[in-house]
């Protein structure tokens, strides 16, 4: 239902995405796939979208936006030296 659009350097990715989503919702309503009183349309996106801004821009539509979030953790082998020394001292290693 969405076409891939190549963005130029001056394009605002969130504005383009909002316009695309608005178009899809409009088409769903026109096709009778959503009517007032129905549950909100759930839009699920991958990480990388500014979901907070999209929700603000699309606040007049009956949509719920959700997005995968990235959770960055440090690999266990990349512990800080202070953590390593604490591990050694608590395990009885010197």
pLDDT for the residue 62: 93
pLDDT of residue 68: 82
Q: Is the pLDDT of residue 85 over 60?
A: no
Q: How many residues does the chain have?
A: 94
d(CA 29, CA 8): 31
pLDDT for the residue numbered 48: 83
For residue 75, pLDDT over 80 is answered with no
* Sequence-ordered list of residues with C-beta below 8 angstroms from that of 67, at least 6 positions apart, any chain: 44, 45, 46, 47, 49, 51
The rounded percent of the chain whose pLDDT value lies above 90 is: 56
Alpha-carbon distance of 28 to 24, in angstroms, equals 6
R_g of the chain, CA atoms, integer Å = 22
Is pLDDT of 15 > 70? yes
| 48-71 mean pLDDT | 89
What mean pLDDT, rounded, does the chain reach? Answer: 82
Q: 76 or 47, which is more confident? A: 47
Residues 56-78, mean pLDDT to the nearest whole number? 79
């Amino acid at each position: 239902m969405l076409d891939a659009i190549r963005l130029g350097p001056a394009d605002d990715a969130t504005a383009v995405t909002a316009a695309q989503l608005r178009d899809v919702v409009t088409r769903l309503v026109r096709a009778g796939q959503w009517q007032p009183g129905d549950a909100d349309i759930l839009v699920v996106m991958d990480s990388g979208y500014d979901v907070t801004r999209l929700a603000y821009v699309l606040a007049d539509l009956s949509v719920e936006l959700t997005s995968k979030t990235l959770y960055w953790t440090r690999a266990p082998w990349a512990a800080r030296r202070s953590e390593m020394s604490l591990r050694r001292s608590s395990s009885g290693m010197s």
